[in-house]
Amino acid sequence: MHTPTPGSLFLVTTLVANLGLAQQPAKPADPLDTLIRQRMQDVGLIGLAGVVLVDNQVIWSQGFGHRDATRTLPFTLDTPTKVASITKTFTGVSLMQLVAEGKLSLDADVNTYLPFSVRNPNFPDQPITLRMLATHTSSITDRWEVYRNVYHFAGETSPPLGQFLTSYFTPTGQNYSPRNYLDTAPGTERDYSNIAASLAGYIVERTSGQSLQKYVPRRILSPLGMSATAWSPRVLPARSASNLFVSHSSHSIPIPSYDITTYPDGGLWVSASDLSRLFRALLNHGALDSARIVPTSAADEMLRFQFNGPTYPKGYGPSQGNSGIFWRTKFNGIRMGHGGNDPGIQAEMLSSLDRRIAVILLSNTSSTGPDGKAFNDIFQALWKHAESRLR
């Protein structure tokens, strides 16, 4: 065996140092990174990705954890996952595109655009408008014994959207009941309704002559370069979409992928990176880079607060927040955008009212009870990070 001489050891050491390969002091752990990883571990969040914007520019973006049950594939900024009710924002953009083109009116009776009649039986002479659908003041309500059946897991057949809506709103329909409506007049009370949102999406389809599965990619996704967004993981590259998980007492369980009949209210799969492009366009009056997805006036109307003074709905005043077109304030009215929650999904897309700060956070794991606070803790940490970067 050859024994190195002291001179040769010195030479090797010098060469390693000169090549920059000598051991360097470990970098201190990033506090934000540490907090995110710790809170994910605390409650069993499997995958998560976030984007932070300041003055409409990305100042932080990162993915954490995994997108598969065996925990071998990373959850990245480009990993599509279901975003639940954030889908309504895409429906809102589609709606405002057709309004801008003069094909729809926010204040027309929705029956103008439908093959069946939608009327609150308690107020049969009062029309329901698209603006009411989009601000959740239509008096249409989600009757749970019906709505729970719109979720369809692998192998289950989902009825066409038009068929479901016809059965819900037509008095002779299988799912019709006077209890599908509130006992207050349209436009007077705010009641969050997924079915009302899907009715707006159906009107977009009938007016445009295209399903949302074709319309949204052509009019929104392609112009913005959103290649990791789809209405079904089946049309995405193999294994690119995330599995979904439900966490209970810090133990995460994978659940099957599922579709929903009322897809305009919550059916999209979107990556954090893609969603940031839509959000940046909306916060920038409808345009991003060289792409304009909606005219300035229509984008501003979508984000404009619709409730003022006497127009506030019954029992819903300034302290509860305000509403745009499928857009709302949260956190006691100091942030605006949209969120989403469903089995296997936690999602938030919010900006400050002056649009200077914005945060997007998506997770493939839903949590209940105290565990649900971890997602919010991470969101708030990202918000504070943005505040620290304000000029």
Give per-residue pLDDT as tens, 125-179: 999 999 999 999 999 999 999 999 999 997 788 899 999 999 999 999 999 999 9
CA distance 54 to 77: 18
SS3 of residue 244 by DSSP = strand
The band of 249, judged by pLDDT with boundaries at 50, 70 and 90, is confident
SS3 of residue 317 by DSSP = coil
In the predicted model, what is the mean pLDDT of the chain?
92
Going by C-alpha positions, the residue among 263, 316, 361, 269 that lies closest to residue 135 is: 316
Count of Cβ atoms closer than 10 Å to residue 98 Cβ? 21
CA atoms within 13 A on the CB side of 270: 36
Condensed to tens digits (0 to 9), the pLDDT of residues 265-300 reads: 999 999 999 999 999 999 999 999 999 999 999 999
Spatial contact of 69 and 242, defined as CB atoms under 8 Å apart: no
Spatial contact of 151 and 267, defined as CB atoms under 8 Å apart: no
pLDDT for residue 228 is more than 70:
yes
pLDDT of residue 108: 98
The band of 25, judged by pLDDT with boundaries at 50, 70 and 90, is low
Residue type, 4: P
Residue type, 89: T
pLDDT of residue 24: 60
Spatial contact of 130 and 110, defined as CB atoms under 8 Å apart: yes
From first CA to last CA, the distance across the chain in angstroms is 64
pLDDT for residue 192 is more than 60:
yes
The alpha carbon dihedral of 134, 136, 138, 143 has a sign of positive
Sheet holding 229-230, edge to edge: 81-82, 269-270, 229-230
Spatial contact of 347 and 242, defined as CB atoms under 8 Å apart: no
Q: What's the mean pLDDT in 201-212? A: 98
How many DSSP H helices and E strands does the chain contain? 12, 16
pLDDT of residue 15: 41
Beta bridge partners of 270: 81, 229
Higher pLDDT, 169 or 370: 169
pLDDT of residue 8: 47
Of 163-172, 189-198, 307-316, the one with minimum mean pLDDT is: 307-316
Q: What's the mean pLDDT in 37-51? A: 96
Higher pLDDT, 11 or 140: 140
CA distance 391 to 388: 9
Token readout for 106 is: 């926010």
pLDDT for residue 255 is more than 80:
yes
pLDDT of residue 26: 63
pLDDT of residue 251: 87
- The one-character DSSP state at 3 is P
The band of 16, judged by pLDDT with boundaries at 50, 70 and 90, is very low
Q: What's the mean pLDDT in 333-360? A: 96
Phi, psi of 85 (to 5 degrees): -70, -10
Residue type, 368: T
Condensed to tens digits (0 to 9), the pLDDT of residues 59-107 reads: 999 999 999 999 999 999 999 999 999 999 999 999 999 999 999 999 9
The band of 23, judged by pLDDT with boundaries at 50, 70 and 90, is low
Give the pairing type, strands 251-255 and 258-260. Answer: unpaired
- How far, in Å, are 54, 250, 287, 323, 328 from residue 39 at the CA level? 24, 11, 35, 31, 27
Residue with tokens 């919550």: 266
pLDDT of residue 82: 97
Domains of the chain, start order = 32-388 (3.40.710.10)
Beta bridge partners of 269: 82, 230
pLDDT for residue 363 is more than 50:
yes
Phi, psi of 205 (to 5 degrees): -65, -45
CA distance 338 to 43: 24
